Amino acid sequence: MVEAGMPRMAARAFGALLSSPEGVLTSAQLSEQLRISPAAVSGAISHLVTITLVRREGEPGSRRDRYRLHPDQWYEAPTSRGARLVRWSDALRDGIATVGPETTPGRRMTETLEFFDFLRDEMESLLSRWRAHREEVLGPTGPGAVDDG
């Protein structure tokens, strides 16, 4: 995961959650298991929450948080990127209007915009094929399904 660009502590925390029986751990459990400080856990979890691989929830009967793998983490992460692609596309359109579409930077921005638009259009088809494949291979819930309770 680190070689793919994920920060080291976030990768370690994600690995711990992924390998835990319930897919849920508290900050103290992560800190103890990974032998890292609470601050390192906080930074790692913040990153994982931002990229929608993990969600933060209250621990029942306590004021502490616990961290749960998102039930469809591999679906949610790219889906949330789609919203970012829309924002980036809007910024690129503004940039193209500012520098002019016929300038070298404008052509570069136009190509980037076309790529982002292509990705966004293809994402839904790809995710639909993934859901069908997952159900065919793993059944309706698959092993990644986590009780939202």
CA distance 75 to 140: 15
When pLDDT is cut at 50, 70 and 90, the band that residue 148 belongs to is very low
pTM over 0.75: no
Amino acid 149: pLDDT: 42
Residue 39 confidence (pLDDT) above 90: yes
Helix ranges (DSSP H) in the chain: 8-19, 27-34, 38-50, 73-99, 104-138
Q: Please state which CATH number belongs to domain 8-69.
A: 1.10.10.10
CA distance 2 to 11: 6
Taking residues 102-109, report their average pLDDT: 94
Taking residues 93-111, report their average pLDDT: 94
Taking residues 8-25, report their average pLDDT: 92
CA distance 142 to 129: 15
Task: Spell out the domain ranges in the chain.
Answer: 8-69, 73-138
- Percent of the chain having pLDDT more than 90? 44
Amino acid 147: pLDDT: 46
Around Cβ 118, how many Cβ atoms within 10 Å? 11
Q: Which residues contact 90 (CB under 8 A, 6 or more apart)?
A: none
Place of tokens 């159900």: 135
pLDDT tens per residue, range 58-87: 877 877 889 998 766 666 566 666 667 788
